[in-house]
């Protein structure tokens, strides 16, 4: 499968995360759901790597780097997003706020990573955001009141994923030989996320879980499709694409979620949703066609100084 095929598969798998939230959150708090998820992910990956005899990690530095990415891209990102929903914020508002992440990544990837962002790509970033707003705006009616903290958490989620994306892309560009293979990296990320989530699940939520068939289904979906499938694809894509290009795929998440909701749950799609989907797709296409994946040299900027963590 080519890179384009991997990108399309990533969008579909990433967008399907609502299935796990829809079926999982009624039976466990967000921290507990995520903690159980990452413990099971770690166990599965540990068994797989042990079977393949690939449990030897080549350096502590590589482990530390993957742990940082894991905490940011898994524990903080998902805890903040699901936490906002649990505090009464509409999932569509959360989707709108977290859609700022591609914009933030594009703004920062130039000065931090030295990656070229052309005028066409900037236009595409703006167009993609407009498409997301159109899709989400029709879902905001009747969202209800929510805790002020609930509105802060999605911004934290967007910031966390932005830093994780930039950091992983930086490592892939400057010191790729120090990185762990994808499956080993996912194992470290799962363990680090579980360690961070454990005290929150215990002391905030009391680790309460209702083990229903729906909850087990949600766990399986989150583990196989999201934690291993979509995150593994994201790590692989960041080896070949700029941070801005990979982040722009997030603009397709709300529209794709609508389509999946229609196919799986018969959710209705209005004409505004369709227009938003098309606009988001145009924005992503502009980002992809507007530049190259080769970084440029930026004066006074040494990307190796950005969290290089040299041994």
244 touches 120 (CB < 8 A): no
The pLDDT, as a whole number, for residue 98 is: 80
Q: Are 194 and 276 in contact (CB under 8 A)?
A: no
What's the domain range around 184? 3-305
Structure tokens, 232:
């593994």
Determine the Cα–Cα distance for residues 134 and 247; give it in Å rounded to an integer.
19
pLDDT under 70 in the chain at which residues? 1, 92, 115-117, 138-146, 265, 267, 288-311
Asked if the structure places residue 310 within a domain, the reply is no
Note whether residue 31 is domain-resident: yes
How many other CB atoms sit within 10 Å of the CB of residue 183? 15
**Residue 14 covered by a domain:** yes
Contacts (Cβ under 8 Å, ≥6 apart) of 266: none
pTM, to two decimals: 0.78
- Whether residue 311 is contained in a domain is answered as no
209 beta partners:
28
pLDDT at 209: 93
147 assigned to some structural domain: yes
Residue 160 within a domain = yes
pLDDT in tens, 130-188: 877 777 776 665 555 667 788 889 899 989 999 998 998 888 878 777 788 888 999 99
- Is 299 a member of any domain? yes
pLDDT, one tens digit per residue, over 67-87 is 999 999 999 998 998 888 778
The answer to the question of residue 37 being in a domain is: yes
Per the structure, how many domains does the chain have?
Answer: 1
């Amino acid at each position: 499968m080519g890179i384009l095929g991997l990108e399309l598969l990533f969008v579909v798998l990433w967008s399907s995360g609502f299935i796990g939230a829809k079926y999982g959150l009624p039976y466990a708090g967000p921290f507990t759901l995520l903690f159980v998820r990452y413990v099971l992910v770690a166990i599965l990956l540990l068994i797989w790597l042990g079977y393949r005899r690939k449990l030897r990690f080549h350096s502590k530095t590589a482990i530390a780097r993957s742990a940082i990415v894991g905490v940011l891209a898994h524990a903080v990102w998902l805890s903040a997003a699901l936490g906002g929903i649990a505090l009464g914020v509409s999932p569509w508002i959360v989707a709108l706020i977290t859609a700022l992440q591609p914009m933030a990544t594009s703004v920062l990837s130039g000065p931090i990573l030295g990656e070229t962002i052309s005028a066409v790509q900037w236009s595409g970033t703006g167009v993609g955001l407009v498409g997301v707003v159109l899709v989400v705006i029709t879902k905001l009616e009747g969202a209800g009141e929510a805790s002020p903290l609930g509105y802060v958490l999605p911004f934290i989620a967007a910031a966390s994923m932005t830093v994780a994306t930039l950091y992983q892309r930086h490592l892939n560009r400057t010191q790729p030989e120090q990185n762990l293979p994808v499956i080993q990296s996912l194992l470290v990320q799962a363990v680090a996320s579980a360690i961070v989530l454990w005290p929150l699940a215990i002391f905030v939520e009391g680790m309460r879980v209702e083990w229903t068939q729906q909850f087990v289904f949600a766990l399986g979906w989150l583990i196989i499709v999201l934690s291993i499938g979509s995150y593994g694809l994201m790590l692989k894509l960041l080896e070949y694409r700029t941070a801005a290009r990979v982040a722009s795929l997030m603009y397709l998440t709300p529209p794709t979620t609508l389509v999946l909701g229609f196919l799986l749950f018969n959710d209705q799609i209005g004409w505004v949703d369709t227009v938003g989907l098309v606009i988001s797709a145009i924005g992503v296409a502009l980002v992809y066609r507007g530049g190259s994946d080769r970084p440029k040299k930026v004066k006074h900027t040494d990307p190796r100084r950005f969290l290089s963590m040299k041994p």
